[in-house]
Chains A and B, each alone.
Chain A
Amino acid sequence: MTSATDTISAQAGPAFDAGAAVSNGEVRDFVALLKPRVMSLVIFTALVGMLVSHAAANPVIAAASLLMIAVGAGASGCLNMWWDADIDAVMSRTRTRPIPAGRITPDEALSFGTALSVGSVLALGLIANWLAAALLAFTIAFYVVVYSMGLKRWTDQNIVIGGLAGALPPVVADAAVSGSVGLPSLVLCALIFLWTPPHFWALALVKSGDYAKAGIPMMPNVRGPDATRTQILAYTLVLVPFGLLPVWLGFGGLVYAAVSALSGLGMIALAAQVYRVRTGDQAARAAMQLFGFSVLYLFLLFAALLAEHGLGLFRPVPGLA
């Protein structure tokens, strides 16, 4: 054989003979498989889930649990990239990911994701408790098996139902520190669940060509942009009042009430703009504005709870205490 086949180059992994295959991946490629930005969001929402539960947990156990929840989330992201590599290769937003770019082989991603999934669940069980571990296992399985392998390519409700996986980290975190699941973390879960459709559909309105090319039945591709705009507005009109529920339940104070009300008005205004402006560059701009602001909205709500429960800024809303 020639020296070219003996020397491992930077080609895609599957092109090599299995016996001679050596990984081409750099450390940063393996880190990218874990979707670090999603992991940071999971850490943030899980931390707030821990704080609102007010369980008397050892800070070391809480921090280690948070780390395992983040690793579990990263592992599910890795397995999602393994399964969706064919889709990622045809979408402009994702074609530079490690697997479609040929820097990591699918087998490597599968092994890496499986090892981290099993490891994070077992470690969380040993560090915190087995209820939290079971919830983390359910979250990973739901994201990979139910969403990635099932819903994503099958129904326009993919991100609605699949959104549960992204909404569960506060519940897992609550279970890790308290050993049970309380109403506050369930409300936070429902909040993220309701936030997911307007957030992703705003992006899907702009990227519908990409999704069509990949054959993913996103709402704008299946029901059309107009129906999607109606759904975005409807979900937002449910989401924003729901965002005030922590105030009525007593774990959202004055700061949270103000942040939730003001940013909620912003969400409604931008969703109404998406509903109203339907053609041209302005329509795409309106959708991207809503997409960007929805990230800020969720961040602000959770940051307000973090400030109230983590930094001692909680002041009950008069008349509701």
Chain B
Amino acid sequence: MGSPAPRPPQLSEADQKRRRARSVAIALALGFMVLLFYVVTIAKLGPQVLNRPL
């Protein structure tokens, strides 16, 4: 048998709070990037995107 798997670190309450804040910040940044790329795509397509034969 190999060495036992390392135990995950026990996080203090302050550590958990900091990790949650970092996770929220990353989520907000990713959400903003999605929105940014959507808006930029629409801007690059321009109004002519709607002008097509039906």
Contacts and interface: CB of A to CB of B under 8 A. Distances in A.
Contacts of B44: 58, 61
Interface string B32-54: 01001001100110000000000
B1 interface: no
Given A22-B19, A26-B18, A27-B25, A60 B43 contact: yes
Given A67-B36, A127-B40, A23 B22 contact: yes
Interface residues of A, number: 22
A279 interface: no
Number of contact residues on B: which range applies?
A: 20 to 34
A67 B39 CA distance: 14
Given A60-B40, A60-B43, A8 B7 contact: no
A27 B19 contact: no
Contacts of A27: 21-22, 25
A311 B35 CA distance: 29
A9 interface: yes
A64 B34 CA distance: 12
Given A7-B10, A67-B36, 5 more contacts: A7-B15, A20-B6, A24-B18, A26-B22, A27-B21
Interface of A: 3, 6-10, 19-20, 22-27, 30, 58, 60-61, 64, 67, 123, 127
